[in-house]
Amino acid sequence: MAPSYKIACIGAGYVGGPTMSMIALNCPDIEVVVLDINEERIKAWNSEQLPIYEPGLEEVVRQCRGRNLFFSSDTTKHLAEADMIFVSVNTPTKTSGIGAGKAADLTYWEGAARMIAAVATTPKIVVEKSTVPVKTAEAISKVLKRNCTDPSVTFEILSNPEFLAEGTAIEDLRMPDRVLIGGGDSEAGQAAIKQLAWVYAHWIPQERILTTNLWSAELAKLTANAMLAQRISSINSISALCEATGADVQQVARAIGMDSRIGSKFMNTSVGFGGSCFQKDILNLCYVCEGVGLKEVADYWMKVVTMNDYQKQRFVERVISAMFNTVARKRLAIFGFAFKKDTGDTRETPAIDVCRGLLADGAKCVVYDPKVTPVQVFRDLSAPKFEWDRPHGWGKSERHITENVQVVADPYACAEGAHAICVLTEWDEFKSYDYQRLYDSMVKPAFIFDGRNVLDHEALRSIGFIVYALGKPLDPFLQKSY
């Protein structure tokens, strides 16, 4: 018998796809349909080559696709039939108009709400899965009510922000630290919360399902991302101090991480945080703060982004100054382009700004990433970005990119004839390469700039490499300035 409870999800992206797959897997009594205006994406979800790479995702999709999990572009039919509708569309930073560069662009969200209103003839629970500014639910509620032609239709809005991390999304969804559900105080609001809690209770222990009011749930998501990014910027700021003083950032991180009040997670220094969310959500938080007159609070959080830009710029400057103050016409092997390991996602990856900085100094960048396609690398390096993302003077024309960037499918080909290797993503496979072979094929002196501190630096030095590792005492070679 076909399941009688129906869930639809608008947005078949990094969040909508995996989240709905996990619901379908654990709730055979519910039919789940994932919708998108991007037909190519839907086609890919229905094929053997899923549109996103996420460890464990293929198995989950294979188990329930065609059973109670469907991917479709027929929004009218499925939205009309659904009892509960998740909205998991993109909420990027505005690029023009009021709030450009900071505020969330809710165009896609509003479009989704209008689509729901246009077809709804039965009561709907609308669940905010996208990360949105505080009070978005209020605005969306108005769009739904004013655009629905049938005045008897009721809409209950819930906020159910997603806390998964790309690369570990399936594990995060299988056993999340918590599921957060925010809803209205009214009887209908509380009933809607119960209905969504029932869905999650199929596999998540009751004590991990947390309910709050709407605005607290919306704000909790923005704050969670701001605080995670803040930890990265904090340890990255200390990495600069370590290099200047001879301390070792990994030793410092270990010592402070053992303090149970601080904890050891998110303590790895890196070339900077990336991903579609951290920067966008902090900017959004700053915008919300400014909107209610809290300038000092906005300035405080903005520094997390400033420090991230500084870390990327510092890395570029370190590469250039180590290589005799110029990388002009030098071949640089870029190991890793994704914003973190185990994903092909390059949104806001630090590799973009680092490569742009190196290209601006005249370098030839040869990129190898196990999961990022050449098309994506060229698109990312050519696409215009916000001022926030582009430290001073960086950025070159598209022609400059195609002439000076190459993307290869093999790490040994990448490093052949290169002056340096820059590690920009912490892929595990980078640790097990034959570095003697890489060294032998490179121009001397051969440099390695480890922007993720994942390699065995002493072993590399014994081969002959000059190694720069973030936040570590500097090689004597790197202490000289040219």
Ligand X SMILES: NC(=O)c1ccc[n+]([C@@H]2O[C@H](COP(=O)([O-])OP(=O)(O)OC[C@H]3O[C@@H](n4cnc5c(N)ncnc54)[C@H](O)[C@@H]3O)[C@@H](O)[C@H]2O)c1
Packing angle, helices 16-26 and 57-64, rounded to 10: 50
Shortest reach from residue 42's CB to ligand X, in Å:
9
Residue nearest to ligand X (CB): 13
13 binds ligand X (CB under 6 A): yes
Considering only 3, 5, 99, 108, the residue that binds ligand X (CB under 6 A) is 108
What secondary structure letter does DSSP report for 292?
T
Considering only 50, 61, 64, 89, the residue that binds ligand X (CB under 6 A) is 89
Structural contact between residues 54 and 62, judged by C-beta atoms closer than 8 angstroms: no
The count of chain residues that interact with ligand X, using the rule CB under 6 A, is 27
CA distances to 29, 112, 125, 146 from 150, in Å: 29, 18, 16, 10
Helix (H, G, I), strand (E, B) or coil at 449: strand
Considering only 3, 99, 101, 111, the residue that binds ligand X (CB under 6 A) is 111
16 binds ligand X (CB under 6 A): yes
Shortest reach from residue 404's CB to ligand X, in Å:
29
159 binds ligand X (CB under 6 A): no
Shortest reach from residue 281's CB to ligand X, in Å:
7
Mask of contacts with ligand X, 349-368, x by CB under 6 A?
A: --------------------
45 binds ligand X (CB under 6 A): no
Shortest reach from residue 28's CB to ligand X, in Å:
24
Q: Quickly count: other Cβ atoms within 10 Å of residue 438's Cβ.
A: 23
Shortest reach from residue 416's CB to ligand X, in Å:
35
For every residue of 215-284, DSSP letters joined together read HHHHHHHHHHHHHHHHHHHHHHHHHHHHHHHT--HHHHHHHHHTSTTT-STT----S---SSSHHHHHHH
Nearest to 115 by CA among 94, 92, 140: 140
Q: Which stretch binds ligand X (CB under 6 A): 30-38, 193-201, 369-377, 448-456?
A: 30-38
Nearest to 23 by CA among 165, 206, 197: 197
| Contacts of ligand X in 118-137 (CB under 6 A) | 130-131
Considering only 21, 26, 90, 311, the residue that binds ligand X (CB under 6 A) is 90
Phi, psi of 243 (to 5 degrees): -60, -35
70 binds ligand X (CB under 6 A): no
12 binds ligand X (CB under 6 A): yes
From 277, 289, 365, 414, the catalytic residue: 277
Alpha-carbon span 8 to 21, nearest angstrom: 12
Mask of contacts with ligand X, 212-231, x by CB under 6 A?
A: --------------------
Q: Which residues have a Cβ under 8 Å from the Cβ of 77 and sit 6 or more positions away?
A: none
Q: Which residues have a Cβ under 8 Å from the Cβ of 370 and sit 6 or more positions away?
A: 427, 429
Alpha-carbon span 264 to 258, nearest angstrom: 6
Shortest reach from residue 75's CB to ligand X, in Å:
6
38 binds ligand X (CB under 6 A): yes
164 binds ligand X (CB under 6 A): yes
Strand partners, 364: 331
- What tokens appear for 427 in the block? 């892929």
Shortest reach from residue 81's CB to ligand X, in Å:
16
Q: Which stretch binds ligand X (CB under 6 A): 105-113, 147-155, 212-220, 326-334?
A: 105-113
Considering only 68, 91, 160, 195, the residue that binds ligand X (CB under 6 A) is 91
- What tokens appear for 29 in the block? 């009594």
Shortest reach from residue 41's CB to ligand X, in Å:
5
Q: Quickly count: other Cβ atoms within 10 Å of residue 271's Cβ.
A: 30
Task: For tokens 């349909």, name the residue.
Answer: 33
Alpha-carbon span 88 to 257, nearest angstrom: 34
Considering only 162, 172, 218, 369, the residue that binds ligand X (CB under 6 A) is 162
298 binds ligand X (CB under 6 A): no
Shortest reach from residue 51's CB to ligand X, in Å:
8
| Contacts of ligand X in 165-184 (CB under 6 A) | 166
Considering only 57, 116, 229, 277, the residue that binds ligand X (CB under 6 A) is 277
Mask of contacts with ligand X, 371-390, x by CB under 6 A?
A: --------------------
Structural contact between residues 10 and 115, judged by C-beta atoms closer than 8 angstroms: yes
Q: What is the CA radius of gyration of the chain?
A: 24
- Asked if 277 is an active-site residue, the reply is yes
Alpha-carbon span 113 to 17, nearest angstrom: 19
11 binds ligand X (CB under 6 A): yes
Strand partners, 183: 213
Q: Which stretch binds ligand X (CB under 6 A): 35-43, 95-103, 204-212, 352-360?
A: 35-43
Considering only 21, 26, 68, 88, the residue that binds ligand X (CB under 6 A) is 88
Alpha-carbon span 151 to 230, nearest angstrom: 46
Phi, psi of 332 (to 5 degrees): -115, 125
276 binds ligand X (CB under 6 A): yes
Considering only 9, 23, 30, 35, the residue that binds ligand X (CB under 6 A) is 35
Q: Which residues bind ligand X (CB under 6 A)?
A: 10-16, 35-38, 41, 88-91, 108, 111-112, 115, 130-131, 162, 164, 166, 276-277
- Active-site positions read 277
